[in-house]
Amino acid sequence: MKLVPLSPARRFLMWWFRPPLGSPFVTCSVTIDFSAAAAYLARLNAAPGPRVTVQSLFMATVGRLYRELPVANRRITAGRIYQLPNVSIAAPVSLLGHAGAGGMEVTMVLVAAVDEMSLRKVAAVTTERAATERSGKSTSALLRALVAVATHAPAKVIEGALDAVNGLGRSPWLAKTMWRLAPVSTGVTNPGAGLGKLEGMAFRAAAMTVPDRLVHVGTVWGVSAVQDEVVAVAGRPEVRPMLPVVFCFDHRLFDGVMASRILKRLGELLQNPEALFGPDGER
């Protein structure tokens, strides 16, 4: 066997995903009719301005959803539950094939106060920050520092530093400071999105145990590529474009009844996005 060198991202994930003794996270998966949303995005993208992607629409919708149902927008620190002041979303960005990749395969962008933005604004900010990350200029000073250390320091030094920061992050006295350093309400990732429309294959589900390290994240969303499926419409089978969605939540924050309410409301919003964001996406 040959030892595989670890990139800074892999080093961090090896530490972050160290198996826990148990996990309070529960995963649910649904598919949502994307017919109206697809038509809405087509109209928006026919006009001048930054392209509004499925991910941008999803992030903006989650921002409004969490403002409406604030129980989903909470964080646990040292056994205490904190209500977060706004909805800020972290999303991974692939660096493969881009100039800024270096030794990294993936990084992430943070879009703060998504609940206060229009859909157009969310799309513009997400596109701009993803482009910045892919050019090799990280938008996060903290992330730049961690990458620099992870690139050159021995594994034990990296793990020791991360453990120390993790210990500080568990102090209730530093809860507000940790929010300022890492204001993450939830994450939106894209498992299965690379599959696209592959004949004879459909995305069905995914599961994740979210590590309770550095900062607590109460929920994580997974969004796959829109795919055609046969669904019942008025009691009859029809082929509709469906968006597969995975929802992972911390059971300590809320139970399955609230999770169902969150998913149901998400489906309602995504099936009528114009009512939420206006005909031009500027509401």
Q: Tally the domains of the chain.
A: 1
pLDDT tens-digit series, residues 240-279: 999 999 999 999 998 899 999 999 999 999 999 999 999 9
pLDDT of residue 167: 86
Structural domain contains residue 251: yes
CA distance 170 to 264: 33
Structural domain contains residue 66: yes
Q: Is 31 exposed, middle or buried (0-12, 13-18, 19+ CB in 10 A)?
A: buried
- Of 198, 211, 177, residue with least CA distance to 22: 211
pLDDT at 147 over 70: no
Q: Is 195 exposed, middle or buried (0-12, 13-18, 19+ CB in 10 A)?
A: middle
Angle, alpha carbons 98-101-106 (nearest 5°): 105
Structural domain contains residue 1: no
Q: Which residues pair with 228 in a beta bridge?
A: 241
CA distance 145 to 140: 9
pLDDT at 139 over 70: no
CA distance 179 to 7: 27
Structural domain contains residue 3: no
Domain of 70, in residue numbers? 8-17+24-276
pLDDT of residue 279: 96
Average pLDDT on 176-186 reads 89
Structural domain contains residue 282: no
Structural domain contains residue 2: no
**Domain containing 37 — which CATH number?**
3.30.559.10
Structural domain contains residue 281: no
| C-alpha torsion 212→69→246→280, nearest 10 | -120
Structural domain contains residue 43: yes
